[in-house]
Structure 1
């Protein structure tokens, strides 16, 4: 009876396209969903939107307190202090990735093959690589080859593959997508208006694939040997072929209308419940108050565009993990209403500014200080233009950099601080913080949240390193999954965060 229940839930979950907080995790379907009777042009929009609304949203939601973009109004909140749900396997990126997002990409690939439309196969592969990347970056070892593939029977006890194997699959998917985007297709990508990224422009899709490849190659910064050793030149080459203007940013737009799905997930439109963080964090706000880390603070012009002013005046964040602690919420900057958190705010997958910061890091690590500095400044300008900073304010900020930092005093901290700001509400920031060992030398002012679970994280230098697999996966597939003890899972670095081959 239990296995029959799984089959029934899986079939239902693959037919619907919306996300749910219920757990329907699966790896392969016993039958093909009815949506496979549709041509691929009718499925591309759903595949893109599910990647955002299900996987990307859930991928950043629970780590907001880890990367300290936002804070809750109560102290000891579970995701900020790494306890309760996170230590009992109730963190649901796994569900959203394997139930809702990945099956849509599998169907798009399958249908693209059936209808002689390699461009749709390529889009499915790009989205699939992205979801695999975000999932393995948070868990480590994941299910790759045994996932639902639109053709095979269901396997509820799938084999896990190492993160290294998952990364090889990601690179294979992206490389194949780049090739397929050059092939002739019988159906235009935007035949039914479903390509909400690039309106059928395969050149821009190819640039996105290269940009994602640069991102995942850059994650290997601690690898000094072996077949996946860090390769700065490969990263630079991918960036040069990647997104090269803000007009090519991969983003999901929202209208801010009456329906829930018309609103940016981190906004709080009237009548739709609450935001996923109550206030901007003290760390993030203070960083914007002096993003150049100068002895005399120089306020970042993005501050007033991203962070709402407190009711009682000024810009003030809540210390992550502390909550309001008896103070008035009117004294702090509320967590919605700015550039990223309004009902009609866009949600970004990949941006021109991120590509330039990746390129800057690669050039810096390869010894090209001048090239890295130029890319760093280009990334800042791109991000400021993205959020709407006035041209004269951008010019003044870049001049401050030249006058106070310059090529000679420029380093990794400057790159990572600016990348942190520009990657607001993207799970990629957690990758960066772990690669940088949560260093306050890299991120000035960074401290662990207050009220951290000291049972698992006793020392001041102990930070969360990975997420636990969800409890239902453990219930039925414990023989295949890695050790899910919270004392092990939450504290053990993932593969790319170590020097081992």
Structure 2
């Protein structure tokens, strides 16, 4: 049996928790060549595992945890724990925390060590960029996390690592991205795609640099409520990064799935994927938003609706109210969650796209008062997403003309930007960051309401919304001395650092 070189998981935890057979595991660790088990291989044999663990385990888990919070999808049963913000929200064994620290981060650590060992700094760069991405996803769900004392590919395991503040995590993210960009400019002995392992950019280092800058723009954009110190929001710096990063959908950071008999050959949220049971139906909020995303007096249906939500029922598209379930109604009354653009077996997992970069730029320009510039960036983002979904050209032209009428250059609002970003970022955990940054405002997200059957013991007021995830129970059992307060009344309700004005 292969044992993970893990961050600080004990042998018992690995044997009993991490290595058991489970339909939700992305890799069979007893046979997978991509599991982090040794640094004896050359880096070209490790890069695919680093990329796929980042998306297929960590990002998938991050998206699954917040599926009901972001209200993209809904369960068929009422009062489902992750939709109603139960205190048990993250007490399972297979959630983002474990998938980040046991599966994803060790691969990136090995890639950095191997790149150094084989005089191939491009692999070090990719390891650092992916590491920054994983730290970002993890801290944005939990707040304070472990960074410096994770498994580093060389040191022995630390069973009780210290947590660092989210502000410190963000400094680490920016440092890793800057170092990665610099190292991609150095000469290398082994090319990134020598063995076909670079399943993200096929060895194109310029696209990796664009990706790193796009991710840096994303995390800098989270700081909209920070106005002082070395982490103050800087719209001009964000705009500059956006302009230096993606220029078309060809740059999109996406991991593709071929489809097939094996579960992990399929998009996790597809009917044949290992996470399909978490996406029973599209949510009522998402479906209704797509019926009139421009807020027109006479509703204008988004041309992406029938592409994303493939099943029209009873003459139209109907979603399930989050937290309510089917409410005794027949399942045929609601649009199934599987089979659309994002949820068919060959659907990609998107890490960050050109459209998101343009929406980030639009927000930055809006915040500095450049409304015409914000609208130009918004239009570019919308057009890119329509093209990504292969909306017919005539429908794209019509929709963009309607956007001009309903929004226009000087009439653009933060709601216009965030609604379009919400639609284009479907199934990306980044959406939960946006919703919290926007204070779950129904002025920003028209029609947004708290789920039915929300946990009133923890969220008694109608303006109380979930702010963070609980740390998993195995972390609490093992490292309670260093772990922040995990009381659900505190953890689930306390805003993260970047969401605290200063």
Normalised by the length of structure 2, the TM-score is 0.93
Q: Distance in 2 between matches of 1:335 and 1:275?
A: 10
Q: Which residue of 1 aligns with 2:96?
A: 93
Corresponding residue of 2:3: none
Residue equivalent to 2:267: 264
Residue matched to 1:130: 133
How far is the alpha carbon of 1:329 from its aligned partner?
1.1
Match of 1:151 among 154, 157, 181: 154
Matched, 1:211 2:214: yes
Check conservation: 1:18, 1:100, Cα contact below 8 A.
no
Q: Any stretches of 5+ residues in structure 2 without a counterpart?
A: 1-7, 26-34
> How has the CA–CA distance of structure 1 residues 104 and 96 changed in structure 2, closer, same or farther, with 3 Å as cutoff?
same
Looking at structure 2, the residues matched to 245 and 315 of structure 1 have their Cα atoms a distance apart, in angstroms, of: 31
User: 1:366 is matched with which residue: 342, 365, 368?
Assistant: 368
Using the alignment, how far apart are the partners of 1:158 and 1:93 within structure 2? 18
Question: What is the CA-CA distance between 1:401 and the residue it aligns to?
Answer: 1.3
Q: 1:475 to 1:275 in 2, by over 3 A?
A: same
CA contact (8 A) 1:275 1:335 kept: no
CA distance in 2, matches of 1:33, 1:445: 44
Deviations 1:348-381 (A, max 9, x none): 0010000000000001111111111000000000
Q: How does 1:187-226 map to 2 (within 5 A)?
A: 187-226=190-229
Deviations 1:32-57 (A, max 9, x none): 97531100000000110011111000
Query: Tell me, what secondary structure is at the counterpart of 1:194?
Result: coil
1:173 corresponds to which of 157, 176, 193: 176
Q: 1:312, CA displacement in angstroms?
A: 3.4
On the 8 A contact 1:292/1:414 being kept in 2, the answer is yes
8 Å CA contact retained: 1:279, 1:317? yes
Note the 1:453-468 alignment, pairs <5 A. Answer: 453-468=455-470
Structure 1 residue 129: deviation in Å?
0.3
Aligned to 1:184: 187
* Equivalent residue runs for 1:63-462 within 5 Å: 63-86=66-89, 88=91, 92-269=95-272, 274-462=276-464
- Would you say the 8 A contact 1:39–1:115 is kept in 2? yes
8 Å contact from structure 1 (residues 14, 99) kept in 2 = no
Give the Cα separation in 2 of the matches to 1:42 and 1:337. 33
TM-aligned CA distance change 1:314 to 1:54, over 3 Å: same
Q: Is the CA contact 1:218–1:230 (under 8 Å) kept in the aligned structure 2?
A: yes
CA contact (8 A) 1:17 1:50 kept: no
Question: Is residue 144–residue 166 contact of structure 2 (8 Å, CA) maintained in 1?
Answer: yes
Task: Compute the displacement of 1:407 (Å).
Answer: 1.5
Contact 1:282/1:319 (<8 A) preserved = yes
Cα distance between partner residues in 2 of 1:178 and 1:97 = 23
- Report how far residue 19 of structure 1 moved: 8.4
Structure 2: how far apart are the matches of 1:127 and 1:17?
A: 26
Is this contact kept in 2: 1:18–1:50, CA < 8 A?
no
What's the secondary structure of 2:215's corresponding residue? helix
Q: Is the 8 A contact 1:44 1:120 kept in 2?
A: yes
Change (3 A) 1:131 1:464: same
Tell me what 2:60 maps to: 57
Instruction: Kindly state the Cα deviation for residue 313 of structure 1 after the two structures are TM-superposed.
Output: 3.2
Counterpart residue number, 1:477:
479
Kept after mapping to 2: 8 A contact 1:47/1:108? yes
Q: 1:173 to 1:445 in 2, by over 3 A?
A: same
Deviations 1:225-250 (A, max 9, x none): 11100000110011011111101101
Contact 2:318–2:334 (Cα < 8 Å) also in 1: yes
CA distance in structure 2 between the aligned counterparts of 1:269 and 1:99, rounded to whole angstroms: 25
Alpha-carbon distance between aligned partners in 2 of 1:377 and 1:212, rounded to the nearest angstrom: 21
SS at match of 2:149: coil
Distance apart, 1:90 and its partner CA: 5.8
Deviation of 1:7 after TM superposition, in Å, equals 4.0
In the alignment, is the contact (CA less than 8 A) between 1:57 and 1:265 conserved in 2?
yes
Change (3 A) 1:188 1:205: same
Give the Å deviation of 1:455.
0.3
Deviation, 1:15, is: 11
* Greater mean deviation of Cα atoms: 45-54 or 5-14: 5-14
Give the length in aligned residue pairs: 486
